[in-house]
Amino acid sequence: MKLLIATNNAHKTAEIRAILGGHFDEIFSLKEAGLDIDVVEDGDTFEANALKKAVEALRAAEGIADAALSDDSGLMVDALGGAPGVHSARYAGEGHDDGANNRKLLEAMRDVPDGARGCRFVSAVALARKGREPIVRRGTAEGVLLRANAGENGFGYDPLFYYPPLDKSFAQMDAAEKNALSHRYRALSALREALEAERNS
């Protein structure tokens, strides 16, 4: 079975290959498949967005892939009622970058005390397949929102996301550390378990 990953992110593709490689004969990205699709993420949950992207990617990959995988991820902050949530990538508005998003978040959280700065990264992964029901799974990583950026690695909100078990922000971790505990890793691991349960049923 051939799997299309609805991304052009090389790091994400490598991570998915490492976790799901045993379940597919071939795994490739949109770029590797010669596809260029742009799906409007207008769902009100991470799961809805991930599933929409996976279904549309599979439709675009007719004759190329038997299944398509997509994910949608973001940061949910307790004190902000779960914001930025599904709007994480465009929290500061369309066309804004990570820096602008982080500055807006810090400003929104400026007066929130240290004991009330809980947050979590969330990732939903969706696997769309020909002739079979899709599989959707969620993974989370619990943390605390910092008051200033810490670390040079990662992207997005990683410099503001403090992970207590390792006493580091996500941006202070190397790729191996982060990939072993990230929300996406946990979602993909749950998906792998679902595939293994199917295979053994």
Active site residue ranges = 72
Q: Residue 94: helix, strand or coil by DSSP?
A: coil
What letter represents residue 153's amino acid? N
Q: Give the β-pairing of 132-145 and 168-169.
A: unpaired
Say if residues 182 and 141 touch (Cβ distance below 8 Å): yes
Classified as helix, coil or strand, 51 is helix
> Can you point out the beta strands (E) in 19-117?
26-29, 67-77
Q: Are 128 and 72 in contact (CB under 8 A)?
A: no
Residues contacting 42, CB < 8 A, separation 6+: 49, 52
